[in-house]
Structure 1
Amino acid sequence: MSEPFLEVNSLEKVYSTKASFFNRKPERVVAVDQVSFTINHGEAFGLVGESGSGKSTIGKSLLRLHDITSGSVTYKGQNVHELSKKEMRRLRPKLQFVFQDPFSSLNPRLRVGEALGEPLLDHGLATKANVRKKVMDVMELCGLPTYHIDKFPHEFSGGQRQRIGIARAVIMNPEFIVADEPVSALDVSIQAQIINLFQELQVQKNMAYLFISHDLSVVEHLCTRIGVLYLGTMMEMGSRDQLYQNPLHPYTKALLAAVPIPDPKRKRQRALLKGDVPNPANPPTGCKFHTRCPIATAACAEKVPSFREVEPGHFVACHLVS
């Protein structure tokens, strides 16, 4: 791998809720808690965890769709959150986002050709004379018949709409894409097609991804390194082989145990988690996972575990891992 071109250092995002009749005091919700990782050129980095773990907040923070409370996001030596609006606008084409819902992310009043061509014209990357040709080229690249160019979003299936969303990002010729659960709303057969499309585009365009998902079986096929989040905290991070063949954190083991095996004769030993996900406005002391951990000790409730490297490239935050 080449040197990382995107670095996230001690990223923190805190939301403050307003006081109400039922909640007299405003609450402080730490959505992302001191998260750090790097992404290299052409690399697909996976981010997994339950709903509400902070995955989407991190993805949007990387592209400055959210402001951050502290920490930094550095892209090619530039701190994204310190750039002026003019500088950030020049950078936008290189940093793109693929949204989870392929229908609500598209303007229902714009035809596909207009939706794909508008950002090119807006950033001066095409002229009115050649924009249609560029749109048709990217539609072919993303597996969309070009005769659909004048159709509206409601005339497409869910898988086709997601291809449109991917095409809208790819048409800007980006270097980095945040894909926020892009296959979670699709049928399994369509999911495979979209994953294959991401892999093909990665090879052809040499793009890097932050691929957000709650499904570890999906992430396994696309990503070379994976981070596991719980309540905004990175619990484990490592290469695909390290995480799938030698998971260390109890939370990672529980997530992997929930992945179904496509063989009716084989049975997987389930690692059932007790209790519910804690309120992020009032997280547990010590290790945030200790209230649900099957092997937690008294020390887990008292002291926050450090996020340390236990083998080259394999990091974990757990008192019980030596």
Structure 2
Amino acid sequence: MAETLLKVENLKKYFPIKAGVFQRTVGYVKAVDDVSFELKEGETLGFVGESGCGKSTTGRTILRLLDKTDGNVYFEGKDIFSLSRKELRSIRPKMQIIFQDPYSSLNPRMTVGEIIGEALVDHKIVSKGEVKDRVLEALEMCGLAPYHIRRYPHEFSGGQRQRIGIARALVLNPKFIVCDEPVSALDVSIQSQIVNLLCDLQQKFGFSYMFISHDLSVVKHISHRVGVMYLGSLVELAEKHELYKNPLHPYTKALLSAVPIPDPTLKRERIILQGDIPSPANPPSGCKFHTRCPYKKDICSQEVPKFRDVGGGHFVSCHLV
């Protein structure tokens, strides 16, 4: 049984809303609101949900790229937010991120070799004489040629740039990588190459991934478990086959009903959600989904449902289950 690598408890991240001449705080955007989960060594946990539901903010807060509002994050048993700057710096190489946009996440003034090797030099992981060898090794693992080390980002296609971003994360030999929609900006054919590359690297080195995406078919292919987010909160979390075969939350059912089926003879009942997504600055009372839920009852608007295990590691936050 794999050990727990990452533990997130009741994580919250609120952004203040400023107004007036004196820029007083008049409210908060509740981007991440009471999220809890665990991630084991060598596991991929997929995160899905509509745009603005807090997936990327959750990933960045876990890595302490953003400060938390409340809650705890434990990595290898250490509380990330209680570490000093020196202690945090020492574990930074173990926690990496692959950014969503392969065009803006690479410094256009640096060569590929400098981009990938920068952290090796900064953290003094290897001697200066060994940096080039490590960079070439990372390039080869990610399907790039040795001569690419001297080129600049503008000389590459989107797929190649994303491979450079992956190589930059891998060169430090991390244990945990946040993949923030790493294939959303790429063509479909390139997407499959990048996803298969991530799977192969995980089998070889035992990385743990938090894989954030809108594409439910990609998430199903790469993930071991899948979490569904709505308006800053996790509403369902289960092993991938269980979630896709037996979704319990009405929001999860609506998401899965929108996934295209490759067989034109098969028909699926499409669940169309009514109304707009509420503002995260002013979320509804009780269950956040009740304003769009076709099965809502009185209790749904009055009481926040608990995020609980209903059996076999299938967590759901719904009064109707």
Q: Structure 1-normalised TM-score?
A: 0.97
Write the deviation string for residues 265-316 of structure 1: whole angstroms up to 9, x where unpaired: 3232111111111011111111100111111122211111111111120011
- Partner residue, 1:210: 210
Structure 2 CA distance for aligned equivalents of residues 25 and 168 of structure 1: 38
Q: Which residue pairs with 2:250 in the alignment? A: 250
Separation of aligned partners in 1, 2:315 and 2:131: 46
SS at match of 2:237: strand
Question: 2: CA distance between counterparts of 1:140 and 1:261?
Answer: 36
| TM-superposed deviation, 1:133 | 1.3
Find the residue that maps to 1:311 and give its secondary structure.
coil
* Native 8 Å contact 2:45 2:223 kept in 1: yes
Tell me the distance in 1 between the aligned counterparts of 2:24 and 2:15: 17
Report the equivalent of 1:309.
Answer: 309
1:98-156: CA deviation from partner (whole Å, max 9, x where unpaired): 00001100000001011111111111112222211111111010111112111110110
Which residue of 2 is the match for residue 167 of structure 1? 167
Moved more, 224-233 or 123-132: 123-132
Distance 1:289 1:38 in 2: 24
- Structure 1 position 278 matched with structure 2 position 284: no
TM superposition shift of 1:241? 1.3
**Does structure 1 residue 36 correspond to structure 2 residue 46?**
no
Instruction: Write the deviation string for residues 254-275 of structure 1: whole angstroms up to 9, x where unpaired.
Output: 1111111122332321111111
| SS, match of residue 34 in structure 1 | strand
Partner of 2:233: 233
Q: Residue in 1 aligned with 2:156?
A: 156
Moved more, 136-145 or 124-133: 124-133
* Equivalent pair of 2:16/2:25 in contact (CA under 8 Å): no
Distance 1:225 1:18, change over 3 A: same
- What is aligned with 1:262? 262
CA distance in 1, matches of 2:33, 2:131: 43
Equivalent position amino acid for 1:101 in 2: D
2:11 is matched with which residue?
11
- Residues 228-275 of structure 1: per-residue CA shift (max 9 Å, x gap): 110011100110111011000010011111111122332321111111
User: 1:299 is matched by which residue type in structure 2?
Assistant: I
Out of 257-266 and 149-158, give the one that drifted further: 257-266
Task: Give the AA of the match of 1:212.
Answer: I
**1:141 alignment counterpart:** 141
- Following superposition, the deviation at residue 25 of structure 1 comes to 6.5
**Structure 1 consecutive aligned stretches of length 4 or more whose deviation exceeds 6 Å:** none
Q: Which stretch of structure 1 is more off in the superposition, 117-126 or 101-110? A: 117-126
Q: Between the two proteins, what is the percent identity of the paired residues?
A: 58
TM-score, reference length from structure 2: 0.97
| SS, match of residue 108 in structure 1 | coil
Number of equivalenced pairs: 320
Q: CA deviation at 1:58?
A: 0.7
Q: What residue identity is the alignment partner of 2:35?
A: V
* Letter paired with 2:190: I
Structure 1 gap ranges (5+) = none
Amino acid at match of 2:282: N
SS at match of 1:268: coil
Superposition pairs of residues 19-98 of structure 1, within 5 angstroms: 19-20=19-20, 26-98=26-98
